[in-house]
Amino acid sequence: MDCRLLEIFVGWEDKLGDDEWYFSNSFESIYKGMSSEEAFNYIPNVIEVLFKLDDDYLIWETLHFLMQLYSIADTTQIHPFLERNWSPLKQHLMIYEESYASPFKELTRQLRIKE
């Protein structure tokens, strides 16, 4: 797992208070300059972090980051790691109503996953 990704969540409330674009800028610092292959290969890092998160707002932001990676990867191919973990991820995210209702459903549409 990439430590840079985990560091984004340390003290995030204060950082967000200082910069309303904190998450956007932080995630961009990771994906900026990534090739489509690098973005696709980074997806498991994000999935692992999603399982560790227990805050709806953080999950929301991280799901948007995952969708950005898929856009950079320029594919709707489901990463094998995501495919293996889709059901447990869905179960985990169902607890977080806002994230499940919006960005998770967007991701499902983006990847053309039939529910």
- pLDDT of 2 > 90? The answer is no
What is the predicted pLDDT for the residue at 37? 97
- Per-residue pLDDT, 114: 84
Q: Which pLDDT belongs to residue 45?
A: 96
**DSSP class of residue 1?**
-
What number is the average pLDDT over the span 78-103?
94
DSSP string across 76-104: -PPPHHHHHHHHHHHHHHTTSHHHIIIII
Report pLDDT digits (tens) over 20-53: 999 999 999 999 999 999 999 999 999 999 999 9
For residue 115, pLDDT over 90 is answered with: no
Q: Cβ of 67: how many Cβ atoms within 10 Å?
A: 18
Amino acid present at 1? M
Confidence at residue 46, expressed as pLDDT on a 0 to 100 scale:
97
pTM, 2 dp? 0.93
Neighbours of 10 (CB within 10 A): 8
- What confidence score (pLDDT) does residue 1 get? 67
Beta-carbon contacts of residue 22 (< 8 Å; ≥ 6 apart)? 12, 15, 16
Mean pLDDT within 52-80: 95
Query: Mean pLDDT of all residues in the chain?
Result: 94
Contact of 68 with 25, CB cutoff 8 Å: no
Chain position carrying tokens 């984004």: 8
Q: Please state, in angstroms and rounded to a whole number, the distance separating the CA atoms of residues 64 and 105.
A: 11
Query: Count of residues for the chain?
Result: 115
